[in-house]
Amino acid sequence: MIEYSLEYFIKIVSVEDIDRMNILQATLYGMRECINKLKIKPDIALVDGNQLPTGTIVPCQAIVKGDMKYACISAASILSKVTRDRIMLELDQKYPLYEFKQHKGYPTEKHRELVLKYGRSPEHRNSFKIQNCLFN
């Protein structure tokens, strides 16, 4: 897929930035960074969902369930998920107790159990909620 793209950019937002901004604002920040870093400027950026990043160098259009409607949004979604999965495999090597390889960072029941048992790793957000516990 990458070999067929004219250009792409992937922004990794740090745990600290996510905690500081909140997950939605960090997502929008990441989108803005990706759009603004492109050397080839698109006429418009199609965004999956109902929120738009501000401060982009091109106009954006929000499309609910856009990954099911537009191949370019599907491709961007796949790039981000593959990137996240690769990061989770690296974290699994670094912190095997948390079994990142199995849950890929999603808050599954097993993931929540492991965080309750071992506490947060340095990779977990301080705002990561487990049942009724907020880790601060």
Q: Is the residue at 72 inside a domain?
A: yes
Q: Is the residue at 120 inside a domain?
A: yes
Clarify whether residues 25 and 49 are in a common domain: yes
> Helix (H, G, I), strand (E, B), or coil: what is residue 42?
coil
Q: Is the residue at 89 inside a domain?
A: no
Residue range of the domain that includes 130: 95-136
Residue 3 has pLDDT above 90, yes or no: no
Calculate the dihedral angle through the C-alpha atoms of 101, 134, 128, 123, rounding to the nearest 10 degrees.
-70
Total domains in the fold of the chain? 2
Residue 130 has pLDDT above 70, yes or no: no
Q: How confident is the model at residue 5 (pLDDT cuts 50, 70, 90)?
A: confident
Q: What is the pLDDT of residue 136?
A: 43
Closest C-alpha among 32, 26, 76, 20 to residue 58: 32
Q: What is the pLDDT of residue 66?
A: 97
Q: Is the residue at 3 inside a domain?
A: yes
Give the end of a domain, one of 59, 83, 107: 83
Task: Encode pLDDT of 8-36 as tens digits.
Answer: 999 999 999 999 999 999 999 999 999 99
Residue 106 contacts by C-beta under 8 Å, 6 or more apart in sequence? none
Task: Encode pLDDT of 30-89 as tens digits.
Answer: 999 999 999 999 999 999 999 999 999 999 999 999 999 999 999 999 999 999 999 999
